[in-house]
Amino acid sequence: MSPHPIAETVTSLMPRAKAELTELVAFTSVADFDQYPKSESEGAANWVADALRAEGFEDVALLDTPDGTQSVYGFLPGPAGAPTVLLYAHYDVQPPLDEAAWATPPFELTERENGRWYGRGAADCKGGVLLHLLAIRALKANGGVPVHVKVIAEGSEEQGTGGLERYAEQHPELLAADTIVIGDAGNFKAGLPTATATLRGMTLVRVQVDTLEGNLHSGQFGGAAPDALAALVRVLDSLRAEDGSTTVDGLESAASWDGLQYEEDAFRGDAKVLDGVELIGSGTVADRIWARPAVTVLGIDCPPVVGATPSVQAGARALVSLRVPPGVDAAEATKLLRAHIEAHTPWGARVRTEQVGQGQPFRANTSSPAYAALADAMSEAYDGQEMSYAGQGGSIPLCNTLASLYPQAEILLIGLSEPEAQIHAVNESVSPEELERLSVAEALFLQKYAAAAH
């Protein structure tokens, strides 16, 4: 059977896509302007805007969002009476972490022997920008784009500062659509077509514990003087049961996942768990990462080992993340987390908690017509394989904002962040095969969805 003309077109466009992704990855577009120049994010935003203009998009604009970053918007009109589809990606990226741990420079897209393209943002989510561009170009070369298309490329998704969410709430007509394709998820594994049906939400809480007016000599005072760092360690330990399960007083933590399962050996391999080290929690792996809460201590402020003095610490603080499962309100989970921390602080130590970020969990309606069109398109792009449904442990707060603004819209989650991509870690990469197949799938989806809408 000869390949679909759209697939042939996308194949022919891949060398150009690699060159463009190289340009886009080169911008150090981390939306933390204390660490990275704002001009780099602005450069990436302008690159996306220019790419949209080149494809004939109208009303292309750099939207100044309330968190001081820019999101890129464009509109491509389709045939009269056609539905409107919003395509989402983000051009901001996580910091590179330890640059020395990268085998190749993080902001230089590099093809390695395994064929994957390495670079920060290659999969998450600058590759998502290219995914949408490839689908549009393939349709233009094969009879035209059959729907009205809006594109929104966010500039601060990784920071969780909510700029685009606030902007969308202030301008609700801007992103209104019949269907929304969020290109920031990923297949369960490379080569297995997957729609993400749920997302966990997240809350971030900063915890400050104080016990003394100042540090004390640990020989002279240690043993009776209350140690703030020890108090903080005890508080943080109270957030886990003996098996490592998350335990926040009053928070449901026994839900189960009944979709695609994640085999334990596969998870150990994907997570690169060291030999002999146990996984934490109970239930299936899918229960733990998609259906239940998960607390993580993201950082602790205390003296580093090098240069530490023999002192009892007067104060210590930590940043705690809680992933919130679908069906649980993130604001309620935040309240429970803060109350738990305050209730479990020992020795009468003074404790302050401050919420510094929050996003709601999300559950898609997978019985919708758009999902049927996506399943057909995915199967065609992936050689007849049936599309699977998985959860994702991560958060995309914008999903809930869009779901509440446009309750009739169907929201689909696809993307390039399969496990081998190692997003947020060193040596992030994208599979060019995934980029090619998902671009074909998105183009076919837009065709099938438009046909079903008539």
Instruction: Report the alpha-carbon distance of residue 444 to residue 139 in Å, rounded.
Output: 8
Instruction: Report the alpha-carbon distance of residue 94 to residue 36 in Å, rounded.
Output: 11
Instruction: Report the alpha-carbon distance of residue 125 to residue 396 in Å, rounded.
Output: 12
Instruction: Report the alpha-carbon distance of residue 89 to residue 1 in Å, rounded.
Output: 33
439 and 127 in contact (C-beta within 8 Å)? no
Question: Euclidean distance between the first and final Cα of the chain, in Å?
Answer: 29
Report the C-alpha dihedral over residues 152, 157, 158, 162, rounded to 10 degrees.
170
What HEC string does the chain produce? CCCCHHHHHHHHHHHHHHHHHHHHHCCCCCCCCCCCCHHHHHHHHHHHHHHHHHCCCEEEEEEECCCCCEEEEEEECCCCCCCEEEEEEECCCCCCCCHHHCCCCCCCCEECCCCCEECCCCCCCHHHHHHHHHHHHHHHCCCCCCCEEEEEEECCHHHCCCHHHHHHHHCCCCCCCCEEEECCCECCCCCCCEEEEEECEEEEEEEEEECCCCCEEHHHHCCCCCCHHHHHHHHHHCCECCCCCECCCCCCCCCCCCCCCCCHHHHHHHHCCCCCCCCCCCCCHHHHHHHCCEEEEEEEECCCCCCCCCEECCEEEEEEEEEECCCCCHHHHHHHHHHHHHHCCCCCCEEEEEEEEEECCEECCCCCHHHHHHHHHHHHHCCCCCCEEEEECCCCCHHHHHHHHCCCCEEEECCECCHHHCCCCCCCEECHHHHHHHHHHHHHHHHHHHHHHC
Q: Which of 20, 40, 92, 376 is catalytic?
A: 92
Q: Which of 124, 154, 157, 184 is catalytic?
A: 157
Instruction: Report the alpha-carbon distance of residue 287 to residue 290 in Å, rounded.
Output: 6
Please indicate whether residue 8 is annotated as part of the active site.
Answer: no
Please indicate whether residue 252 is annotated as part of the active site.
Answer: no
Instruction: Look at residues 242, 225, 188, 176 and name the one whose alpha carbon lies nearest to residue 382.
Output: 188
Report the catalytic residues: 92, 157
